[in-house]
Structure 1
Amino acid sequence: MRFVRRIKADVRARKNLEAYTMALIVAAVAVVSVVGDAVPEDVRWAAVLAGVGVLLYRATLPEQERGGRDVLGDRTDFDQTPVTKLFEGVRDVRIFAPSAANLLTAQVCETLRTGVLRHPEATVRVVLLDPGEETAIRIACRQLDESDAHRTQTLPVALTAVLERLASMKGWKTRGKVEYRLFPYNPGFSLVLTDPEAWQGRAIVEMHGAGQSTFARMHVDLIRERHERWYAYWVGQFDYLWETARPVEPPARGPEGA
């Protein structure tokens, strides 16, 4: 099954198509040849030589770097592929970030409202740092704010703004639902999962590091079909964050008619 999934992933990514095509042709010729002289000898030799030619061609291709550009990158990759594109056709979005201020912009939230959340089974789950954990917030500020001279707002300010936005999103009259929780410390990464239970699921992990600009942080972009082991690891990380995070209490309501 893993072999079949790898072939499906290659075909969807338009990779190794010439090798798979020749393999099918050679296999078909071999099967037909078993029953006798149904295939002329010159056709058999043509298929064999074509297969050898494809192998020689692939041997001349430059070896790809381990990891590949399709896996490792930074935030500049989103200049070519806007963040809103991540959520096209998606039904399940899971996010962890200290504040998610750079992700949950007004434009992205509108994409979630009009795209993802219009489906009845859709869910958007978000975990942020708990603003009530003063020590954790102070440490996260040293790590994220002081190392980034280009930051336009501090972590506490950004966190407050995003929490207000999430409270508003939770009240949207959409068919899907929005949930969010608060985690007591920063584990050193941000995480976005799209349709994590599906084979086309995707995990984008941003490593925070120390003393580096936000835009210099390493991103790891994993597809379930191609990177099953580490994809499952990061899905498990979000599951842990969600299960141990503190649910946000709804705001207290005043007396009726107030």
Structure 2
Amino acid sequence: MKRRLLQFAEDVRSGRYLDLYVTTAVSMFFAAWLLIGADLDDDIRWSILLAAIGIIMLRSIASTRPQLQARVLLDRSAYEERPIGRVFESAREVSIFAPIGSNLLTVERCESLKNGPLSRRGGVVRVILLAPLKSDDKRAMQLDGLLERSIQSAHTALAETYDRLRRMSEWDMEGKLLVKMISFNPGFSLVAIDPTASEGFINVEFHGYRSDSLSSRMHVRLDSNDQKWFRYWLRQFEAMWSDASDG
């Protein structure tokens, strides 16, 4: 019973199944009224009955409809189908956490950010990177060890990313570029695209251990339909942003 009540509270907070809950509550109210001897007009009884049947049919259709999100668990090959640069160009708000950022924030994708949110009044790009590393830093050695055959050193690649972002900050832009740094690496990367818009989504990529290549890493794509985990990862980024210091 307690579990059902907690699920009900979570559904109400998330705005899920409100039509079903309201109709059920109204039906139970009138059922209780009838039990104590009240007499209801036939029109009211039929309205309640038809509303309940209609909601049951809608729920049945929704449960058998093919899911629009054909894939939630992806790897980097998904970027070939929907290039992230093209996504950046159509966005107004982009939030990024990437420990190194060199593979995401390439010259071409920085140009996409320039032509996208940074070209729009009210557009904003927020980036969190690891704080600068030295070659003997344990965090750098950890990052270098994530791949079986690393082709770049973490401390050098991170320095190049900071330099690229510094140059971007000197551009004449309508939008805002905000950069922060954090000392702790939580083991994932995150990109949020227009998270407050109806079409917004979040990609979370897990770094794994001694992967064959960067392209083999798993990532999860979430949108507002995945309400619980969408909000969870959005809060994760906001917590990191709050704790991070200016880059």
State the TM-score, normalizing by the size of structure 1. Answer: 0.67
Q: Contact 1:119 / 1:176 at 8 angstroms: preserved in 2?
A: yes
Alignment of 1:55-74 (within 5 A): 69-74=70-75
CA distance in 1, matches of 2:190, 2:92: 17
1:85 corresponds to which letter in structure 2?
R
Partner of 2:97: 96
Instruction: Provide the identity percentage.
Output: 37
Shift, 1:149, TM fit = 3.9
Q: Which amino acid aligns with 2:88?
A: F
Query: Structure 1, residues 167-218: CA drift from partner, whole Å, max 9, x if none?
Result: 1111110100101011011001000001112222210000112121322211
Aligned to 1:221: 221
Residue equivalent to 2:163: 164
Q: CA deviation at 1:150?
A: 4.4
Amino acid at match of 2:186: P
Tell me: CA distance 1:134–1:69, structure 2 relative to 1, closer, same or farther (3 Å).
farther
Paired residues of 2:203 and 2:221 also in contact (CA < 8 A): yes
Deviation at 1:89, TM superposition (A): 2.3
Superposed, 1:1-258 pairs within 5 Å as 1-2=15-16, 69-131=70-132, 137-142=137-142, 144-212=143-211, 213-224=213-224, 226-248=225-247
The answer for the alignment partner of 1:15 in structure 2 is none
CA positional deviation for 1:116: 1.6
Tell me the distance in 2 between the aligned counterparts of 1:132 and 1:103: 18
Residues 239 and 147 from structure 1, CA distance in 2 versus in 1: closer, same or farther, beyond 3 angstroms? closer
Residues 134 and 155 in structure 2, CA contact (< 8 A), matched pair in contact too: no
Contact 1:189-1:207 within 8 A present in 2 as well: yes
Provide the rounded CA distance (Å) in 1 between the counterparts of 2:141 and 2:196. 33
Deviations 1:9-64 (A, max 9, x none): xxxxxxxxxxxxxxxxxxxxxxxxx9xxxxxxxxxxxxxxxx9xx97xx97x9x98
Cα distance between partner residues in 1 of 2:196 and 2:216: 30
Cα separation, 1, equivalents of 2:79 and 2:184: 27
Q: Which structure 2 segments of 5+ residues have no match?
A: 1-14, 19-45, 47-56
User: 8 Å contact 1:92–1:122 — kept in the other structure?
Assistant: yes
Do the aligned partners of 1:129 and 1:185 also contact (CA within 8 Å) in 2?
Answer: yes
Q: Which runs of 5+ in 1 are unaligned?
A: 5-33, 35-50, 249-258
**CA 172–3 in structure 1, closer or farther in 2 if over 3 Å, else same:** farther
> 1:3 Cα shift?
5.1
Q: Distance in 1 between matches of 2:86 and 2:233?
A: 21
* Distance change in 2, residues 1:138/1:122 (3 Å): same
Q: Deviations over 1:123-154 (max 9, x none)?
A: 1010000015888x523532x32242443211
Cα separation, 2, equivalents of 1:210 and 1:159:
20
Q: TM-score when scaled to structure 2?
A: 0.70
One-letter code aligned to 1:139: R
1:219 to partner: Cα distance: 0.3
Contact 2:92 2:124 in 1 (8 A): yes
Tell me if the contact between 2:88 and 2:117 (Cα under 8 Å) persists in the aligned partners.
Answer: yes
Structure 1 segments of 4+ aligned residues over 6 angstroms from their partners? none
Counterpart amino acid of 1:96? F
